[in-house]
């Protein structure tokens, strides 16, 4: 991209891929607007070249931990695969919950089959299970195993990373897809712009748009404003992150330097904890806001 002469790069990447893209953009001096990735350490060192719309993982997952505590869940099992992202999530939860009376029990999904997870949950007296694993597998198989185990009828399943947002989640799990809380980056009420965008997307998609669609729209809106105001010069684009003030679908977008975050950060995107309604799995219920 840099060799092709692009003025800036936008990316809706998974966190691990986004971190590699951000490091390369920083090294090349290519402005990079990150739409979705949430790893706190998106780059190893502070950089002027990268800005991010999505909230840092520590911010969102601490809000999720607040939800768990407010709902009365204290013994939290996490079924975790091996990755930088999942490890960071487990650490955030453990560090936040432990001083507040919570316990995090880590289940290594490299060593456990989905059916074996049930025995671990019973043996550890867990009151909640969080899915820090990929979608559709092994997440779907874990949910099916837990839902079918009568010993675990009262356990809450959660997915802070947002797997239940996908339409495929409801297709694969049916009624079992509901009542699994996850993080969603939307306000309780969209801005007038957001409402217009939602209407247009709903007409085009024939269904309600995901919050990821709003991330994408906001990304384009920010880049368009920057390029209109400052032209295609890369250095001027990077310098402009500090001066962005753009009406987005989810509020006014501005970037700032945030402690512990190495990139220009929108602090913060509105955050909700939501789930699919058991009475109507295609509808989302707002359970908690941060």
Which pLDDT score is estimated for 50? Answer: 97
Q: How far apart are CA 74 and CA 126, in angstroms?
A: 8
User: Does 46 share its domain with 87?
Assistant: no
- Please report the pLDDT score of residue 2 as a whole number: 63
Count of C-beta atoms within a 10 Å radius of residue 122? 13
**Residue 70 located in a structural domain:** yes
Question: Is the N-terminal amide bond of 136 cis, ω within 30° of 0?
Answer: yes
Instruction: Write out pLDDT tens, residues 170-187.
Output: 999 999 999 999 999 999
SS3 76: strand
Number of residues that this document lists for the chain: 290
Give the per-residue SS3 of 38-69: CCCCCCCCCCCCEEECCCCHHHHHHHHHHHHH
pLDDT digit string, tens, across residues 220-276: 999 999 999 989 999 999 999 999 999 999 999 999 999 999 999 999 999 999 999
105 found inside a domain = yes
Please tell me the predicted confidence (pLDDT) of residue 24.
95
Query: So what's the pLDDT on residue 1?
Result: 66
Give Cβ neighbours of residue 236 (< 8 Å, ≥ 6 apart): 230
| Distance in angstroms (rounded) separating the CA atoms of residues 65 and 100 | 10
Q: 40: cis peptide before it, omega within 30°?
A: no
Residues near 240 by Cβ (< 8 Å), separated by ≥ 6? Answer: 226, 229, 230
Do 104 and 91 meet the contact criterion of CB atoms below 8 Å apart? no
Domain boundary among 125, 151, 184: 184
Structure confidence at residue 152 (pLDDT): 98
Please list, in sequence order, all residues whose beta carbon lies within 8 angstroms of the beta carbon of residue 267, skipping any fewer than 6 positions away: 55, 59, 256, 258
Is residue 246 included in any domain, yes or no? yes
pTM, two decimal places: 0.94
Both 67 and 149 in a single domain? Answer: yes
Q: What total number of domains does the chain contain? A: 2
Q: Is 276 a domain residue?
A: no
Q: Which residues of the chain have pLDDT under 50?
A: none
Q: 131: domain range?
A: 58-184
Regarding beta strands 128-132 and 156-158, do their DSSP bridges make them parallel or antiparallel, or are they unpaired? parallel
- Residue 15: which of 77, 92, 67, 117 has the closest Cα? 92
Domain boundary (163, 184, 205) is at 184
What CATH number is attached to the domain comprising 89?
3.40.50.2300
Has residue 229 been placed in a domain? yes
If asked whether residues 34 and 14 sit together in one domain, one would say yes
d(CA 257, CA 46): 10
């Amino acid at each position: 991209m840099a060799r092709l002469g692009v003025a800036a790069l936008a990316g809706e990447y998974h966190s691990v891929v986004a971190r590699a893209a951000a490091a390369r953009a920083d090294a090349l001096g290519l402005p990079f607007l990150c739409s979705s990735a949430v790893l706190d350490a998106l780059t190893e060192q502070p950089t002027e070249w990268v800005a991010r719309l999505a909230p840092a993982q520590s911010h969102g997952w601490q809000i999720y931990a607040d939800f768990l505590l407010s709902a009365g869940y204290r013994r939290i099992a996490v079924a975790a695969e091996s990755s930088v992202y999942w490890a960071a999530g487990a650490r955030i939860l453990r560090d936040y919950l432990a001083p507040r009376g919570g316990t995090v029990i880590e289940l290594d999904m490299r060593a456990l089959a989905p059916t074996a997870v049930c025995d671990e949950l019973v043996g550890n007296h867990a009151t909640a299970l969080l899915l820090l694993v990929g979608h559709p597998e092994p997440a779907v198989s874990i949910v099916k195993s837990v839902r079918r185990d009568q010993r675990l009828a009262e356990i809450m399943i959660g997915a802070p990373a947002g797997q239940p947002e996908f339409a495929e989640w409801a297709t694969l799990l049916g009624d079992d897809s509901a009542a699994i809380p996850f993080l969603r980056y939307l306000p309780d009420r969209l801005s007038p712009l957001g409402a217009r965008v939602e209407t247009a997307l709903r007409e085009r998609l024939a269904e309600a748009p995901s919050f990821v669609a709003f991330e994408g729209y906001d990304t384009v809106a920010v880049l368009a404003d920057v390029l209109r105001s400052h032209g295609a010069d890369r250095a001027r684009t990077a310098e402009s992150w500090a001066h962005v003030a753009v009406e987005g679908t989810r509020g006014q977008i501005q970037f700032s330097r945030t402690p512990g975050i190495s990139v220009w950060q929108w602090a913060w995107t509105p955050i909700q904890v939501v789930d699919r309604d058991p009475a109507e799995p295609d509808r989302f219920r707002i359970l908690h806001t941060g």
